[in-house]
Amino acid sequence: MSSLVTPKRIPKFYRGNAACPGCPIPKELDVLLEVLGNKTVLVVPASCTTIIMGDTSGMPSTVPVIHSAFGAPAAIASGIVRALRTRGDKDVIVTVWAGDGSTGDIGFASLSGAAERNEDILYVCYDNEAYMNTGIQRSSLTPKGAWTTTTPEGKREFKKPLPFIIAEHKVPYVATASIAYIYDYEAKVRKAKQIRGFKYLHLLSPCPPGWRFDSKFTIDIAKLAVETGVWPLFEIENGEFRLTSVSKTLLDKKNRKPVTEYLKLQGRFKQLTEEEIKGIQEEIDEMWEEIKKLIKK
């Protein structure tokens, strides 16, 4: 039985932080810390979370938070874990908590370096699919077709497939997750906690102001991303690919909801033509054909 459902549980990540209404980050952090426990160090690069973490007068976190330069979190985490190891502190989970811009763009070299060295860290990318902290500019993880302030006509390029790129580094564990499927997310964090070496977790994080939706829809959108097949839930453990949770049922196309259900709730896709939406649907279907090939019979 998960402690999450106990109403009296004290949140590890306190209410009263500086997130926007409807932002999933506080809840995502709460789940993370609940599973990881108090011997966790969070490394947080420049992002929305920097602000959420409060200022010099205090912070909402129950564990140490090390703020990081935008491009450096995986390197800072590497240093922390090495230092703790030389001091004999072996049970501390050093965790990077980074946005998609830090992860896929400016910090990509340091992330790839740490993955290649198989540093004993957990790297969590919360993916709100743009640079939200600086006001919704595109990142390499913004999906094709999405409006941002720097792609007013809709982004023309594909979303960088980061979980697969990291998996190509042959790290022990890579997984995707969603705040709408908390038990799946929790299970993956729990698994990552047990594994030595580099663990990568990629969370899709719907962002009300950035994606242009009413803040009451955060969880609905997170859920639809999974149900339409836009955001498959999977894990790659020692090279073995496995779908998890409801995504297991989505290999069959007829179980997947049409992508319009996901797109229509978000203002960032409102300029898409029927033709473009059709294109997006086709790309999702193609992705699932690829996923089929990844699954060992």
The residue ranges that bind ligand SF4 (CB under 6 A) are: 19-20, 23, 25, 48, 128, 132, 207-210
Other Cβ atoms closer than 10 A to 38: 10
50 binds other proteins, rule: CB under 8 A? yes
Span from 106-114, 221-229, 263-271, 276-284 in contact with other proteins (CB under 8 A): 106-114
43 binds other proteins, rule: CB under 8 A? yes
Give the CA count within 13 Å in the CB-facing half-sphere of 76.
19
131 binds, among ligand TPP, ligand SF4, other proteins, none (CB under 5 to 8 A by kind): ligand TPP
Nearer to ligand TPP, 141 or 250 (CB): 141
112 binds other proteins, rule: CB under 8 A? yes
Residue 229 and residue 287 in contact, taking contact as beta carbons nearer than 8 Å: yes
Which one-letter DSSP state was computed for residue 139? -
57 binds other proteins, rule: CB under 8 A? yes
20 binds, among ligand TPP, ligand SF4, other proteins, none (CB under 5 to 8 A by kind): ligand SF4
Residue 247 and residue 226 in contact, taking contact as beta carbons nearer than 8 Å: yes
**Distance, CA of 188 to CA of 170 (rounded, Å):** 18
- Total number of residues binding other proteins (CB under 8 A)? 43
Residue 292 and residue 252 in contact, taking contact as beta carbons nearer than 8 Å: no
Nearer to ligand SF4, 208 or 229 (CB): 208
20 binds other proteins, rule: CB under 8 A? no
3-state class (DSSP) for residue 202: strand
- Closest of 166, 64, 67 to residue 118, by C-alpha: 166
CA-to-CA separations, 217 to 130, 133, 143, in angstroms, rounded: 18, 21, 19
19 binds, among other proteins, ligand TPP, ligand SF4, none (CB under 5 to 8 A by kind): ligand SF4
Other Cβ atoms closer than 10 A to 48: 23
265 binds, among other proteins, ligand SF4, ligand TPP, none (CB under 5 to 8 A by kind): none
38 binds other proteins, rule: CB under 8 A? yes
71 binds other proteins, rule: CB under 8 A? yes
